[in-house]
Structure 1
């Protein structure tokens, strides 16, 4: 029995050592990289929450600014239900005056924008004239395998002017033999004089 107890003791110690080594190996694997998948997941979640909060704050801030601008331009809403007829007339006059002012400002701004667009266009033209550069026209895509000039040459060959002329069948315009001989003599005299 002494040997069996010693053997059991050795097996137990081996099991403890093995368990301790496995625990250390597992700990080393966990500490191997700082960003474990679990930590990455948590970090992504936190970043999403933070971004959502920032986006919500930004939207609230923009809505508040918009509200302030609208209140500044339009004024506070008036109590129309409990107002008398004179106050209603006064409110309508105020609204009309404000609308008239806004429309006149809008017209002035639109005119200014059109004027500046025209000036920009004129300056661009002047700059292009000074540089000597002009806008290049857009070129059409042409197949490099198809010979466009061959078609034109073929059409030109078909379009022969002599074939298109009408033939005159009357002898009105033809010369008589005598007239032809006198014309040839005159032409021959002119040639001799030139020589």
Structure 2
């Protein structure tokens, strides 16, 4: 055995140095640490949100404003709201367009996975002897006539089967209608039994 084989065997024989209780303690510590980091991240996001709102929308003091100043302030706020709504609408339209494009592309990808281009095949006439020669090589010496074993069909028999007399169904209906037809049926049924 080489030295690599000995080392790999020793590695396989080694047991884990960490006990089950130690592993459990480490896992619980990792979960506690992750929970703390998640809570800290949420607090930071709330602070960032408050700072952004303070920058974009500072508190207003409307107590010292006159009626005309309040009206101009309301008009400005309405204009800002309209601009924000237009931006929101444009972004929603872009998102919907992009999601539609993604859906179409996914459909195309699925269609392309299922389909592949098949090559055009040519019909080639090969005799039975040629097939056997290609399969068996030089061992093949006997020529086979595969058509000799086929069952022969006479054309006269098929023509006789096709020329079945077709009678007019209306004559049969008229002949079998009424009491005369029933009498004929009764007589026909009576004759085979005799």
TM-score by length of 1: 0.39
**Which has the larger Rg?**
1
TM-score by length of 2: 0.40
